[in-house]
């Protein structure tokens, strides 16, 4: 059994398509098919079945994938640790983040860090609350910015970095758009532009509306802050967004109004696996972040 076979197997399992896997691996489709066939012959099992134009993992294929992913992750970590041991200033940090923190916060802290550590590389992964925790637990990333910060979790731990206020965003010209602050109850008859169910900002807004005594009417749903902001600016409804998601300047910009009664906030933290020590360079970045936000 060769390392290449395992790498090809994981790529095909993720893409569910030999041609797409071969394109990402920059090899011929026949080479991928041959390696998968040889792997199945050596194991004596069928790892994939054809389903339409795609390949689907068999039950034993799913079991094998869960083990192989762990092996490849451990191998990658071992290689990175050797490189860091030889020269920590040229290591790689694997970090995850939600979209709302990728607009301003992540580029800001990375830029500040690289001023004193210019040789360090970053591998970035965007995800939702649940997917970021899963990727940290599986060891696919070292650190993750996350919101809300999980106060208690069996597999991850970390530090609270900040509490961020959420603002109401309204179409320009809305009756409330010129107010300095509003009560959330004043939006009870409005159509809301809301995040999809897997995004934590949705639950934060729903809980705030419940505290204000109403259930919001949801007219549109989206998955990124710039989509939410653009729909509101186009007059499709109202919403609540974190302040950091409202820093971008564009032609289509909604009005921003502070919300009181209740004030709406979210916690932002940094997590890592609780069972393992961070790689050297990731530990350096973690300490930098704690100092960075402590001085804010």
CATH number at residue 229: 3.40.190.290
Strands 217-222 and 191-195: parallel
Residue 210 lies in a domain: yes
Provide the pLDDT for residue 90: 79
Spatial distance between the Cα atoms of 282 and 287, rounded to a whole number of angstroms: 9
Same domain for 262 and 176 = yes
Scan for tokens 């696996």, then name that residue.
273
Residue-by-residue pLDDT tens, the chain, 296 positions:
788 899 999 999 988 888 888 888 889 989 988 999 999 999 999 999 888 888 889 999 899 998 898 888 888 878 877 776 667 787 889 999 999 898 889 999 999 999 999 999 999 999 999 999 999 998 899 999 999 999 888 899 999 999 999 999 999 999 999 999 999 999 999 999 999 998 999 999 999 999 999 999 999 999 889 899 999 999 999 999 998 888 766 667 899 999 999 999 999 999 999 988 888 889 999 999 999 998 76
Spatial distance between the Cα atoms of 112 and 215, rounded to a whole number of angstroms: 42
Same domain for 108 and 194 = no
From 77, 106, 128, the end of a domain falls on 77
Residue 212 lies in a domain: yes
Provide the pLDDT for residue 249: 64
Residue 242 lies in a domain: yes
Spatial distance between the Cα atoms of 256 and 247, rounded to a whole number of angstroms: 11
Closest CA to 125 of 108, 145, 111, 110: 145
Same domain for 187 and 230 = yes
Q: Retrieve residue 133's tokens.
A: 């925790």
Same domain for 169 and 230 = yes
- The residues with which 123 forms a beta bridge, in sequence order, are 94
CA distances from 248 to 105, 145, 166, 244 (A): 12, 20, 15, 9
Domain count, the chain: 3
Residue 249 lies in a domain: yes
N- to C-terminal Cα separation, the chain: 52
Provide the pLDDT for residue 85: 62
Same domain for 191 and 170 = yes
DSSP string, 97-147: E-HHHHTTHHHHHHHHHHHH-TT-EEEEEE--HHHHHHHHHTTS-SEEEES
Spatial distance between the Cα atoms of 135 and 69, rounded to a whole number of angstroms: 12
Same domain for 172 and 156 = no
Same domain for 246 and 182 = yes
Same domain for 210 and 279 = no
Same domain for 156 and 271 = yes
CATH assignment at residue 27: 1.10.10.10
Same domain for 259 and 167 = yes
Provide the pLDDT for residue 17: 86
From 77, 99, 126, the end of a domain falls on 77
Residue 221 lies in a domain: yes
By CB neighbour count within 10 A (0-12 exposed, 13-18 middle, 19+ buried), where does 76 fall?
A: middle
Provide the pLDDT for residue 248: 66
CATH assignment at residue 105: 3.40.190.10
Scan for tokens 């591998």, then name that residue.
123
Residue 82 lies in a domain: no
Spatial distance between the Cα atoms of 25 and 213, rounded to a whole number of angstroms: 53
Provide the pLDDT for residue 86: 62
Provide the pLDDT for residue 167: 97
Residue 181 lies in a domain: yes
Same domain for 275 and 136 = yes
185 is in which domain, residue-wise?
A: 163-266
Same domain for 116 and 130 = yes
């Amino acid at each position: 059994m060769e390392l290449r076979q395992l790498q090809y197997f994981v790529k095909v399992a993720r893409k569910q398509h030999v041609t797409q896997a071969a394109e990402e691996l920059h090899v011929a489709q026949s080479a991928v098919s041959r390696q998968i066939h040889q792997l199945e012959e050596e194991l004596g099992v069928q790892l994939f079945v054809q389903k339409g134009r795609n390949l689907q993992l068999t039950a034993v294929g799913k079991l094998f994938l869960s083990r192989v992913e762990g092996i490849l992750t451990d191998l990658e970590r071992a290689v990175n640790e050797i490189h860091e041991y030889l020269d920590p200033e040229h290591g790689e940090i694997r970090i995850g983040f939600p979209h709302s923190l990728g607009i301003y916060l992540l580029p800001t802290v990375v830029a500040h860090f690289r001023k004193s550590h210019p040789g360090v590389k970053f591998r970035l992964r965007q995800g939702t609350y649940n997917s970021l925790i899963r990727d940290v637990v599986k060891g696919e990333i070292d650190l993750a910015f996350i919101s809300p910060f999980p106060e208690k979790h069996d597999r991850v731990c970390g530090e609270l970095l900040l509490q961020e206020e959420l603002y109401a965003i309204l179409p320009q010209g809305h009756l409330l758009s010129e107010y300095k602050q509003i009560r959330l109850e004043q939006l009870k008859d409005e159509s809301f532009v809301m995040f999809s169910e897997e995004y934590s900002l949705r639950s934060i807004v729903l809980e705030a509306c419940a505290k204000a005594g109403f259930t919001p009417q949801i007219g549109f749903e989206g998955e990124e802050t710039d989509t939410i902001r653009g729909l509101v600016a186009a007059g499709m409804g109202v919403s609540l967004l974190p302040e950091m998601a409202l820093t971008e300047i564009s032609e289509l910009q909604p009005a921003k109004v502070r919300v009181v009664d209740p004030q709406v906030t979210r916690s932002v933290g940094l997590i890592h696996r609780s069972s393992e020590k961070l790689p050297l360079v990731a530990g350096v970045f973690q300490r930098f972040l704690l100092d960075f936000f402590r001085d804010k």
